[in-house]
Amino acid sequence: MRKYLLLYINLLMVVFVFIPEAHAKEKTFTIVIDPGHGGKDPGAIGYSAKEKTINLAVALLLGDMIETEQQDTRVVYTRKTDRFIELDERANIANRNKADLFISIHANSVKRGSSVSGTETFTLGLARTQENLEVAMRENSAILLEDNYLQKYEGFDPTSTESYIIFEFMQNKHMEQSIDFASSIQKEFVKQKRANRGVKQGGLLVLRKTSMPAVLVELGFISNREEERFMASVSGQKKLAKALYSAFTRFKSEYDRKRGVLSVNESQSTKNNFTDVSSEKPVITPQKAAKVVYKIQILASDKKIADNSKEFKGYKNIDFYKEKGLYKYTYGESTDFNEIRLLRRKMAKDFKDAFIIEFVDGVKVNR
């Protein structure tokens, strides 16, 4: 009897010791990593390397870095082996997993010479230049390998410029976050001594149906012998993955901050600015007597949205401000941070990606 009692006590100790640890490592963020092309679709072909192989290698390295360093992040791949995945299914994988971020990894190519080089990152939108249109056409051509692609993509022809007109009318509610993430990626590539071709928009089918911030990254030009060697090398792939990982950590940190989550380091660094870190209520210094107002940002658009638009889901008294050429729409207003935080939680069912912004004396504060 005593033997069973000791065994029971030991089991209780295991439960109390390990359950809190398991809870602490709960996955609260999901990223879907999409290695472009695969299987019967090799993507662009260089002098000796294939795009699909480079994409997969960099994707796996990136995912490994995230899983190792970000314990609260779940990594989902659209593919982990050399197999063909339809473009719509890649977006569906992200949507089914309720992903918070989607990144599609590719390598670029041009026909008119091998001197073109550099990295560029795309978000969903109309390809306003011939060069961007050519990239979209090349990446979208994968649907030609799918069965019944005309029915599945509603008559979309990746080789016809007329088909891309539809992207002029598409509203992407995650545009702002996608552009910010794309900008971070390009900045990190520069740190790795890669030529910066900038952030661009394109009619990319793989991004069309994603319901979260999403980007498509072109790691470099496989048609350029020097860049092909770099992307095909283990050292080059590690540098590219490191740049993507650094941009991801910045995005994830901002994601946590907007939802009132602070890491230990962030809590210590902000202790001089907050009276109570647990409540995260900012202190207003008496000397300045500044008026601090909090609002909830719900949408961003490159075009003004009508007051009665379905985009607002029946909410009234929507306000907006303009920043970086975008209309940014807000709901609610309070000088009490906890009050606005509770309101954001209530709105989460309608606006999953809503976040809190701060204005000091009428000027938005970017932290």
Q: Tens-digit pLDDT profile for the chain (367 aa)? A: 555 555 555 555 544 444 444 444 577 899 999 999 999 999 999 999 999 999 999 999 999 999 999 999 999 999 999 999 998 899 999 999 999 999 999 999 988 667 899 999 998 876 555 666 677 777 777 777 877 777 777 677 777 776 665 555 455 668 888 889 999 999 999 999 999 999 888 888 888 888 899 999 999 999 999 999 999 999 999 999 999 999 999 999 988 887 765 443 344 443 333 333 333 444 444 444 568 888 998 888 878 888 888 888 899 899 999 887 788 999 999 888 888 888 988 888 888 778 888 888 888 876 5
| pLDDT on residue 183 | 92
Would you say the CATH fold of 263-365 matches that of 27-257? no
Q: Which CATH architecture has domain 27-257?
A: 3-Layer(aba) Sandwich (3.40)
Listed in sequence order, the residues at least 6 apart from 332 whose beta carbon sits closer than 8 Å to its beta carbon are: 295, 296, 340, 343
How many CB atoms within 10 Å of residue 195?
A: 14
| pLDDT on residue 289 | 54
Query: CATH code for 263-365?
Result: 3.30.70.1070
Q: What is the C-alpha separation between 118 and 227, in angstroms, rounded?
A: 8
SS (H, E, C) the chain: CHHHHHHHHHHHHHHHHHHHHHHHCCCCEEEEEEECCECCECCCECCCCEHHHHHHHHHHHHHHHHHHHCCCEEEEECCCCCCCCCHHHHHHHHHHCCCCEEEEEEEECCCCCCCCCCEEEEEECCCCCHHHHHHHHHHHHHHHHCCCHHHHCCCCCCCCHHHHHHHHCCCCCCHHHHHHHHHHHHHHHHHCCCCEEEEEEECCHHHHCCCCCEEEEEEEECCCHHHHHHHHCHHHHHHHHHHHHHHHHHHHHHHHHHCCCCCHHHHHHCCCCEEECCCCEECCCCCCCCCEEEEEEEEEECCCCCCCCHHHCCCCCCEEEEECCEEEEEEEEECCHHHHHHHHHHHCCCCCCCEEEEEECCEEECC
Q: What is the C-alpha separation between 10 and 274, in angstroms, rounded?
A: 43
Query: In angstroms, what CA-CA distances link 89 with 49, 171, 210?
Result: 26, 21, 10
Query: Closest Cα to residue 205, out of 244, 155, 251?
Result: 155
305 neighbors 327 (Cβ within 8 angstroms): yes
207 neighbors 87 (Cβ within 8 angstroms): no
110 φ/ψ angles, rounded to the nearest 5 degrees:
-135, 155
| pLDDT on residue 325 | 78
pTM: 0.65
| pLDDT on residue 339 | 87
91 neighbors 209 (Cβ within 8 angstroms): yes
CA pseudo-torsion sign 107, 87, 164, 202: negative
| pLDDT on residue 346 | 87
| pLDDT on residue 228 | 96
How many CB atoms within 10 Å of residue 23?
A: 8
| pLDDT on residue 310 | 87
| pLDDT on residue 230 | 97
Q: What is the C-alpha separation between 91 and 210, in angstroms, rounded?
A: 5
Q: Write down the domain spans for the chain.
A: 27-257, 263-365
